[in-house]
Each structure stands twice: as structure tokens, then as C-alpha cells.
Structure 1
Amino acid sequence: MRLAILTADSEFVELASRTLPRAGCVCHHFALGSALLSALRRETFDLLVIDHALPDMTGIRVLSTVRAIVSTQVPVLYVTSLAAERDEVSALNAGADTCLNRPVEAVVLCARVASVLRRARMLQLDHADASTDAFEFDPVACSVSRNGTLIHLTVRQFRLALLFYQHIGTTLSREHILDLIWQGELDVNMRSVDTQISRLRAKLHLVPESGYRLTSVHGRGYRLDRL
């Protein structure tokens, strides 16, 4: 999962950076609300962790902006001070999925992040299952079949296909795809992403006449839609 952590608290950054990668999360830190909002114009994340106290604006303002003009879908974990009930109520009213009060413990942070992501994924899968689907994924064998016919994919292509399927209807930035599929490989460029997606589109026949469309979203990334 790809996370954006918005906080000016160095101790919280250190805690998150030490703890969350063990749970399979790729974390990106932002110290200013304006920096995160700027990044969200071109990048995508699976979860936003927003601190209430920021140097340039309140976390509530960031959250409200995210919900109003950036995304109503990305889940948000809002971090408040101990016993700051008013901040927590404001955050929930502004669109936070859950709140976490300081002091934050590593085990609680991991559990809360996992809980929010699990609920978000269940909603995505419910949406995906709303209509008859021809694809079947086998994560153990890293294989995918369509209408009972096995389609030969590389391990990377399988992971890429599963990522898109789990985010049907959502634009994923190239940076998002790089983080989760190439996982920090140093010799990868955006052309490699484009090439693999082109091959995946051809192998899975993700074109309108087959009921799916995998397209490039200018300036943003890629999006898989079911038609």
C-alpha cells in the first residue's frame, strides 16, 4: 500500500517510517499541507495520514480540501492530540474515516492503518463484484484466467493486473505503480511502466469491445474501467 503521511512531528515520522514498512506500506512524508495538496494533483495514494497541527494550515483545512476538490474516495486517518474531542469531531465531520489520538503506539498505528485499508478494500471489492466478472485471480500461483482460460503473465504483470483490478474505476499515478510493483528498483523509468501496461492491455484484451478499458489519463497515470 502507498501512504502519504502529513505531519511536522519528527517523532511521528520516525515511528511511521520504522513501523509501517513492515506491514507492506510504502510511506511518503510531507511536512506542509500545501505540499501534500500539490502532490495529490499528480500522484495517488491508498491512504492519507493527516496530522491536525501543521506549520502552514490546520489538518482540517487539508482534509476538507482533499474531500472537496481532490478525492472523496481515498481513506483518511486523522491524528489528533490526546483528549482533543473537538478536533476529532471536526475531522470526522470533514470526512476522516477514523481518528487516532496521541500518544501513538506502534502496534496501534499498524492496527488502525490495516483496519482502514481493509474497510476500503472491502468496499472496492463489493463494487467490483456488483456485476458478473470474467477474471479469476490466483495469488498463490500468480495466475489469472478469463472465462476459464489461463492467461500467461509474468509475476510482475500478474501483480500489475491485480493492482488495477483492485482499483477499478480509480486513476493510479505512475509513481504509485512504480512504488508497489517495482518496489524501489533504481534502474526503472516511466517508459518501463508504460511498456508493461501496454503488454498487459494486449494480453488481457482490456479494450471496450471486451467490456474493459485500460487507458492513460493525461498528466495523472492509468485507469481501469469496467464498461
Structure 2
Amino acid sequence: MSLMLIADDHQSLLNILSSAAKKEGFEVATAMDGQEALELFDQLHPQIVLLDVMMPKMDGFQVCREIRRQWDTPVIMITARGEDFEKIMGLDIGADDYIVKPFSPGEVMARVRAVLRRAGRESADSKRLTVEDLTINLEDYTVTIGGEPVRLTKREVDLLWTLVENRTRAFTRDHLLDLLWGMDYYGDPRTVDSHIKRLRAKLDEIPHPRWQIATIRGVGYKFEVNHEG
């Protein structure tokens, strides 16, 4: 079982994030200041770290710098402030992503999954996903529909996985950019539309009447299953 280290000086937030992480199958260690977080990291070597920026004794940026001296463990920074300079500072010192409060626990766990996928640290049993006749395998980045292979790029596979894995929700373009391209991407959000268009075209080469990537007007995109199809 993967271990997540969560560091924040607010006990209520620690409790919320710990509960969400445990539901995702993580073991959890918690710290309420930066010094304790770094000590726990050295002792436990977790698979991923959630770091609040503003903490007593040592702030999240300092902790991230110390971790990056020896380790490439994924680090997600959490802060109540969202100024661009903080985002840039956090990413420049080696953070993998950046989340601004307030947020939902579900959003944080989606970011965790995306960062772990990019880092290649998800366990083998969590790298295969099947819905209806669609199967996605992140072990070898293959996609099949009814057993027939679909040739997709790595980015297209990641995009499809994100939509299918979170099929109860719709994603905005900006959210997909954050999850798949990372917070340090400052390109045109319409790049998501281009990727969706190419992904649909490739998937549509094989009939799949029971599901689709739907456009949600005014929101973005969502994977939908038609149980009557």
C-alpha cells in the first residue's frame, strides 16, 4: 500500500485530506509543521507528499527544497494564497503541482492520481481500467475497444483515462490542463479541444454505441455511458 505524507498546521484540514486519502487506498502520515514533515519524510520515504506552504518552524517551500536535494518524490503544494509568484516559486523548487484553497478533497485526490501517473508510481493493479467494451492499460499505454487496439499518443491515453476514471463528473478545459499538462503550463486552453477532437476521431474508428466523450455546454467534457445503447 502506498504511503502519503500530509503536512498542514490545521488539524481539521489534515483530518479531511487524511480521510480522502485513506478512501483512495493510501496509508497516511501527518505533520503539523515543516520540521516534523521533513523528519517523517526521512523516516518513512512516502510515495507522495502534500505540503502546506505556510507552516510553523519551516515553510513548505523549505521542506520541498530539502526533499529535492536527494529525492524525486512527487510533491504537491497547498496554499490559501494563489499569487502567480508563489506558483512559480513552488514549481521552480521542484514541486509537481500546486493547489489553492479552498478545494474539494475529490479535486486533491484527482491531482494526486494525475501526478502519480506522470511520475509512474501507481501500483500495477491501479493501472488497468475497463468500462463497457473500453479497456485502458497504463502499464503499456494501450487502449482497446472490444478487444481491438486503438493507436493513441501518451497524452491522449492520459486524457481518456482521466475522463473515464472520473466519469461521474464534468471537467473544464482549465482543470484538464492543470491535471494533464501541469500547473506550469501557460498555453492556450484550446489545446484541450484539439486533443479531444483527435481522441474522438481515433476512438470513432471502432463503433462504441454504449459510451462517448460528451461536450457539456458551458463546462467542458465528460465521459458518459449510455446504459440503453
TM-score (norm 2): 0.50
Q: Quick one: distance in 2 between partners of 1:117 and 1:86?
A: 25
How far off its partner does 1:123 sit? 9.8
Which amino acid in the other structure matches residue 42 of structure 2? R
Letter of the structure 1 residue corresponding to residue 97 of structure 2: T
CA displacement 1:57-86 (0-9 Å, x = unmatched): 211111111112xx3310001112242322
Which amino acid in 2 is paired with 1:86? F
User: Identity of paired residues, percent?
Assistant: 22
Structure with greater helix share of residues: 1
2:82 equivalent to 1:83:
yes
Which residue identity lines up with residue 87 of structure 2 in the other structure?
E
CA distance in 2, matches of 1:25, 1:90: 28
Structure 1's consecutive aligned runs of 4 or more residues displaced over 3 angstroms after TM superposition are 122-125
User: How many residue pairs end up in the alignment?
Assistant: 124
Q: Hey, what does 2:91 align to over in structure 1?
A: 92
Give the letter aligned to residue 35 of structure 1.
Answer: E
Q: Does 1:108 align with 2:107?
A: yes
Which structure is higher in RCO with an 8 Å CA cutoff and minimum separation 6?
A: 1
**In 2 relative to 1, CA 84–12 (structure 1 residues): closer, same or farther, beyond 3 Å?**
farther
* Cα offset, 1:91, TM superposition: 0.6
Separation in 2, partners of 1:122, 1:37: 21
In structure 2, the partner of 1:43 is 44
Specify every segment of 5 or more residues in structure 1 that has no aligned partner in the other structure, as ranges.
Answer: 126-136, 138-227
Q: Which residue of 2 aligns with 1:56?
A: 57
Report the alpha carbon displacement of residue 109 of structure 1 after superposing the two structures with TM: 1.0
Q: Cα distance 1:56–1:46, how it changes in 2: closer, same or farther (>3 A)?
A: same
Query: Residue 3 of structure 1 aligns with which residue?
Result: 4
SS of the counterpart of 1:62?
A: helix
2:21 touches 2:28 (CA, 8 Å); kept in 1? yes
Instruction: String of CA shifts for 1:35-75, please: whole Å, max 9, x gaps.
Output: 1222233321100111001011211111111112xx33100
User: Which letter maps to 1:113?
Assistant: V
1:23 Cα deviation from its structure 2 partner: 0.9
User: How many Å separate the matches in 2 of 1:24 and 1:53?
Assistant: 27
Taking structure 1 as the reference length, the TM-score comes to 0.50
Q: Equivalents in 2 of 1:17, 1:123: separation in Å?
A: 18
Q: What do you get for the CA RMSD once the two structures are aligned?
A: 2.3
Separation (CA, whole Å) in 2 of partners of 1:62 and 1:3:
15
SS at match of 1:50: strand
